[in-house]
Structure 1
């Protein structure tokens, strides 16, 4: 798991799962607290994601909405888009159009 923040975007590389959710959650909320703008989470180099990680993104989305902002997911692979649709998370999260890279869920 590698996390990088640059210009309002949190880049997540590697496996986003139960072992890394607390690290990602802390960095994500640091970014949410730091800015008054929308926050982008770049998942284009994500290797895998699990239900716990999806929940972190859903809760962060709700937190952002309370202040009139958005959490935007960038670089979602077609596989991740299907998982998001299947779990009905699509009702909560905002996705950018870019699609790249394989992902196992």
Structure 2
């Protein structure tokens, strides 16, 4: 049984960004965990590590817990994991699971 998750690294003005898409659930957690930790190990100490989830269709508590653990792990090495593009459903799940206390969301610009 395969997973329905897309994982890639994009390089932009703010450095390498881990881009996740598809379904982040118990079936894809292993692949996503490996990609997140590999990405964390490739960035400099003290870095802001951006994980773009704007293309994620669905997420479950298992995947969010894995991101929370990665975020806590990165703090030990002086890095910060920041989620970019969290849709309202992901934000709601973060609040319901109380993981919003551990996972940092990138601030979105306020429209003028």
Same-fold call, TM > 0.5?
yes
Bin of the TM-score, shorter chain as denominator length? 0.7 to 0.9
Paired residues for 1:19-34 under 5 Å: 19-34=27-42
Q: Between Structure 1 and Structure 2, whose CA radius of gyration is higher?
A: 2
Structure 2 gap ranges (5+): none
Distance 2:77 2:54 in 1: 26
Q: Distance in 1 between matches of 2:32 and 2:90?
A: 18
Q: CA deviation at 1:21?
A: 0.7
Size of the aligned set, in residue pairs, is 99
Which whole-Å CA distance do the structure 2 matches of 1:19 and 1:83 have between them? 18
TM-score, reference length from structure 1: 0.88
- RMSD in angstroms over aligned alpha carbons? 1.4
| Structure 1: segments with no counterpart, 5+ residues | 100-105
Looking at secondary structure, tell me which structure has more strand per residue.
2
Q: State the alpha-carbon separation in 2 of the partners of residues 70 and 35 from structure 1.
A: 11
Contact 1:16/1:49, CA 8 A, preserved across alignment: yes
Match of 1:42 in 2: 52
Q: Which residue of 1 aligns with 2:105?
A: 95
* Deviant stretches of 4+, over 3 Å: none
Cα deviation 1:62-103 (Å, max 9, x = unaligned) = 11111121100000011211111121111111101339xxxx
Higher relative contact order (CA 8 A, sep 6+): 1
